[in-house]
Amino acid sequence: MKTYYTPVSEINRKWYVADVDGKVLGRIATEIARRLRGKHKPTFCNFQDNGDFVVVVNAEKIHLTGNKWDDKVYHHHTGYPGGIKTRTAREVLAKKPEDLIRMAVKGMLPKNKLGRAQLKKLKIYSGNTHPHQAQQPENLEI
């Protein structure tokens, strides 16, 4: 049996708006990653980018359970010796709330060229408005 391969000309991409006001970070990130990959479509193919666009609004009102605001830490390295930097989830939310959602979704996507292309279809805004009204996005109920 051959794997079904959707021709690029037949890929239909929809736009979704996800309001994450009061939603739990991990639960919203799994559904966003699922939509970006296209796993909700019957034409899903793991080596092809046939997912949809997702616009996230109210990123500053995301919720974490338990003590994760202070216990969850994010690391990055500057490239210099001893240059590891650590920030808690509370500090990331205060400085750039979009990064919390972006990092959670990025960890759920493939770690290759395909995953980077799928992550570009994620648009995150900390406020209630977004500039993608012309695409007529549908509400994503989670």
> What's the confidence (pLDDT) of residue 135?
96
pTM, two decimal places: 0.93
The predicted structure's pLDDT at residue 50: 93
Looking at residue 139, its pLDDT comes to 96
Task: Compute the distance between CA of residue 44 and CA of residue 14 in angstroms, rounded to an integer.
Answer: 14
Q: What is the pLDDT along the chain (142 residues), one digit of tens a residue?
A: 777 788 989 999 999 999 999 999 999 999 999 999 999 999 998 999 999 999 999 999 999 999 999 999 999 999 999 999 999 999 999 999 999 999 999 999 999 999 999 999 999 999 999 999 999 999 999 8
Residues counted in the chain? 142
State the fold for domain 13-64+97-139.
Answer: Ribosomal Protein L13p; Chain: A; (3.90.1180)
φ, ψ (nearest 5 deg) of residue 17: -115, 125
Beta strand 138-139 with 84-88 is unpaired
Q: Where are the domains of the chain?
A: 13-64+97-139
Angle at 85 between CA 80 and CA 91, to 5 degrees: 155
Q: CB–CB of 65/110 below 8 Å?
A: no
36 membership: H or E segment, kind and range? helix 25-37
Q: What is the pLDDT of residue 128?
A: 94
